[in-house]
Every structure is written in C-alpha cells, then in structure tokens.
Amino acid sequence: MTSFIFTPENLSRAGRIVAKYPSGRQASAALPLLDIAQRQNGGWLSKDAIQYLADYLSMPLMRLYEVASFYTMFNLKPVGKHLVQLCRTTPCWLRGSDEVAKACKSELHIGLGETTPDNGFTLMEVECLGACVNAPVVQINDDYYEDLSADSVVSILRALKEGKTPPKGSQTGRQFSAPVAA
C-alpha cells in the first residue's frame, strides 16, 4: 500500500484513458497516467506515486520506473511552483540561449537543476522544446515563451514572482513562426 492515491476525479480520468486500450494492454496508458499523477503530486513523481500506478496498471514497478526516468517531462524529485526549462540545443544556442540561461541564474540566484529556497522556481536544462524557429525558448510549467532575450526572460520571471501571468509565446510580437521582421 502506498500513500499516494488518485483523487476521485483523476481516478475517473485514468479509467477513461485505460479503457481506450485493448484488454491486457493497460500498460499502454503509462505516459498519460504518469502525467496525471505528476500533476496531482505537485509536479513530480514520488516513489509512492510510481508504485501506485504500477499496481493500477498491473505492470512491474521497474518497468514503469524505466518509463518515468527515460522521459525528461517526468520529474523524480520535487520541483518549484514554476518549473523553468531552458532549451539549450543548437538553434536556441545560436540565437542566445547562453545569455537567457545566465539571466535566469542571476535573477533566481540558483544554478541548473536547483530550486529556489522558497520553492518558487526550479531551473532545468532540456534537450529540445521543439520550437526551434522561435529560438531561444523556455517552457515554464505548460507555457512556452519564445524569441527571448536576457531582458525579456527576466521580465517574465519577475512577473511570475509577483503573481502575475506574463504573456506567452513570442516576446517580440512575432506571429506563430513568421520570419523575423527585417
């Protein structure tokens, strides 16, 4: 028995997801159920949450742990209220992700993989966020912030510190993936 259990609402959601798969193939629902559990658990997957899901899906604990530890979207340790994921692949790097990373570290007073003392922010580096045309990019929780500069990322972080919701998407006003104005 684990200390983690789905809320009634999430248990219902999980049941609807598992029902989409053929009998005996409930393990196919691992990714969406890990996401639900992570969201319920404050942004991370505890050992108890993974054990609960392994039991729920009738699959070996180690197999589910392998899935959870393979995908960078799953966190196996607690994270701050705002999970700041910095894309550092070549397109973002060519367009200034080093300066964006430096600004984040300076503003938050933490390094990569660290969480602020108040648990407000966790700063992580990720391999690719898939928005290369609008580089550099960060993802904060579920929101993308694109066409960043050191100044614009600091403005975003300060707004979040103040409890405000900064505008998502391009920080230069670019629409979608349109060319950068000349």
pLDDT value of residue 182: 53
pLDDT value of residue 106: 98
Mean pLDDT (the chain, rounded): 95
The pLDDT tens digits of the residues spanning 51-63 come to 999 999 999 999 9
Taking residues 48-76, report their average pLDDT. 96
Taking residues 128-144, report their average pLDDT. 95
Count of alpha carbons within 13 angstroms of residue 180, beta-carbon side: 12
Q: What is the token pair recorded at 20?
A: 């989409």
Element (H, E) at 146: strand 143-146
Element (H, E) at 87: strand 82-87
The amino acid present at 15, given as its one-letter code, is G
The pLDDT tens digits of the residues spanning 17-48 come to 999 999 999 999 999 999 999 999 999 999 99
- List the chain domain ranges: 8-70, 82-170
pLDDT value of residue 2: 61
Taking residues 105-134, report their average pLDDT. 96
The pLDDT tens digits of the residues spanning 79-110 come to 999 999 999 999 999 999 999 999 999 999 99
115 C-beta neighbours (distance < 10 Å), count: 20
Taking residues 120-140, report their average pLDDT. 95
- Express as a percent the part of the chain with pLDDT over 70: 98
- CATH number (2.40.30.10, 3.20.20.10, 3.40.30.10, 3.20.20.70) of 82-170 reads 3.40.30.10
- Residue in the structure block whose two tokens are 């992700």: 97
Q: What's the whole-model pTM score? A: 0.89
